[in-house]
Structure 1
Amino acid sequence: MNKRHSDKDTRSNYPYAVLNKALEVSAKQYGEFEVLVAKHLLPNNRTVELLEDGKLLNVIMVVTTPEWEKKTIPIRIPLRFGVLAYRLLAIHKDNQIKFESVVTIDDLKKFTVGLHRNWATWDIMTHLNFKVGSGYSYEALFGMLDKGRFDYLPRGIHEIYDELEIRKSEYPDLVVEPKIALYIPAPFYMFVSPKHPHLAVRLTTGLETMLSDGTLKAMFDKHYSQSIKKANLSERTIINIGNPLLPPETPLDRKELWLDINSYK
């Protein structure tokens, strides 16, 4: 399994917990387990190659793309119930007035978005002809935003508050834009090496068990319900960016897999 991007990167806490729980609830049927994290952070293009090979990596959790679904075994149960579809904008406080008139995609395209070159969102927004400022490090993106290299950094509603709070002493002028949210469907799955199909079967069994008995939703709410409520999406202008790269196999018909934002008020 790949390692986190930095010591300040808390995004992995929840998926690591879900992975361990899925293995735990399937232990009676499939046996004991051990989770080992890669010693070095690997870029997505290298990671997919290693997962394909199956010798050093056999499972990773990332936002889905056609490449990931083609080259590995996707377990199409969105671990975060699709919450990443909703993004808020991290901005420099001096630029807040610039976003007050933004209500459409065309309005937003007047500004430059900051994205990691290896993120699925980079592929989506470049495909849709947004002006993109690329960063090659998760941590560097916050510094680049602070220095005005781009105008906004879209972050999941479950990520942004913790991310800015953790970096408050370093970047005190970075804030959450108060009126806008973006909608970009981006399911976050487990992907398993095609060389280890037995592991995919085991993890699918574990996740389906957690889904049916409510464990997965309970874990999700424990980690993210407060941030979802704080985002106050009902009071924001939601700009539907869409995702033209969303694989057609996405299980949109399984309503139990997707978040009901209206239940968090």
Structure 2
Amino acid sequence: MDSTKKGDALGQYRIEMMRQALEASGVDYTFSIYEDLMNQARRMSYLDEGKRFNVAIQGTSKTFEERFLPVRVPIYLGLGSGYRLILMRSELQAELNGVRNLKMLQQYSIGQGTAWSDIDIWRNAGFNVIESSYKNLFGMAAKGRFDLYSRGLFEAYEEHRIFSQQFPNLAVDKALLVYYPFAIYIFVSPKYPEIHQALTEGMQALYRTGKLQTLLEANSAVATALAQANLQQRQRIDLPAYNMTPESEAAIRHYVFKLQ
């Protein structure tokens, strides 16, 4: 399994989720983490060949779902992938407090990782997108190389905790909630359909029994996000759906996080 987030709280969630999904499948599999850092394009090339690793966790797209075997259970149950918060320079907060609609938000440039699948969602919605590697983007945001770094609801506070020590002017925006239909899936190399079958059955079982949401709620990054985000107080701005397969649209509607 490839993981670029092994050391943080969400990385630990992903590892435990994989462990429980394989256990729930009833099939005797073990897994290890492939730790070399790489951009997304290379990760997908490695996944295709299935030699260095045969499973990766990735934001979905029509291309990825055609190229690989998607386990169509969104790992954050929609709330942590389609709901986006913003990391930005703290001095932008006053401006963002006044943003009320998509047209106003389009004035700001967006940072995204090279080849990330939601880049096209932002560009389709009329944004200027600046691409770089995952870790470089935090420094670029702090230095004003672009305006806003779009992060998943469950990612923003955990990443701010980690990177604000190096970039003290980095802040989580308090005003906006951006939403677009999106899912992060487990993808399996096409050379291993039996692993795909096991993970699909395991993830479906975790959702059906409520264990997937329980696992999410127990994670420190998720608990922090739900406690601090004040979702009901934010100005919500929706981006149009783009490049989503009918199967993923159905999965997003079916596998949902049940807010208490």
Give TM-score, length-normalised by structure 1. Answer: 0.89
Structure 2 runs not aligned, ≥5 long: none
Q: CA offsets per residue over residues 96-125 of structure 1, 9 Å max, x none?
A: 222222111110111111111222222221
CA contact (8 A) 1:5 1:41 kept: no
Q: CA offsets per residue over residues 156-188 of structure 1, 9 Å max, x none?
A: 111111111122221111112211110022211
User: In the alignment, residue 109 of structure 1 is paired with which amino acid?
Assistant: Q
Moved over 4 A (4+): 253-256
User: In the alignment, residue 197 of structure 1 is paired with which amino acid?
Assistant: P
Alignment partner for residue 255 of structure 2, among 247, 254, 257?
A: 257
Residue aligning to 2:16: 17
Identity of aligned residues (%): 28
Query: What is the RMSD computed on CA atoms of the aligned residues?
Result: 1.9
Residue aligning to 1:119: 116
The question of 1:235 aligning with 2:233 is answered: yes
The question of 1:210 aligning with 2:209 is answered: no
Q: Residues 114-153 of structure 1 correspond to what in structure 2 (within 5 A)?
A: 114-135=111-132, 137-153=133-149
User: In the alignment, residue 114 of structure 2 is paired with which amino acid?
Assistant: R
Q: CA offsets per residue over residues 130-159 of structure 1, 9 Å max, x none?
A: 012222x21211111111111111111111
3-state SS of 2:85 partner: strand
Q: Residues 161-240 of structure 1 correspond to what in structure 2 (within 5 A)?
A: 161-223=157-219, 224-240=222-238
Q: Give the Å deviation of 1:77.
A: 0.7
Change in Cα spacing, 1:132 to 1:20, as seen in structure 2 (3 Å) is same
3-state SS of 2:100 partner: coil
CA contact (8 A) 1:2 1:42 kept: no
Change in Cα spacing, 1:251 to 1:146, as seen in structure 2 (3 Å) is closer
3-state SS of 1:158 partner: helix
Structure 1 runs not aligned, ≥5 long: none
Give TM-score, length-normalised by structure 2. Answer: 0.91
User: In the alignment, residue 178 of structure 2 is paired with which amino acid?
Assistant: L
Change in Cα spacing, 1:160 to 1:232, as seen in structure 2 (3 Å) is same
The question of 1:52 aligning with 2:48 is answered: yes
CA contact (8 A) 1:5 1:138 kept: no
User: In the alignment, residue 250 of structure 1 is paired with which amino acid?
Assistant: S
CA contact (8 A) 1:76 1:251 kept: no
CA contact (8 A) 2:176 2:234 kept: yes
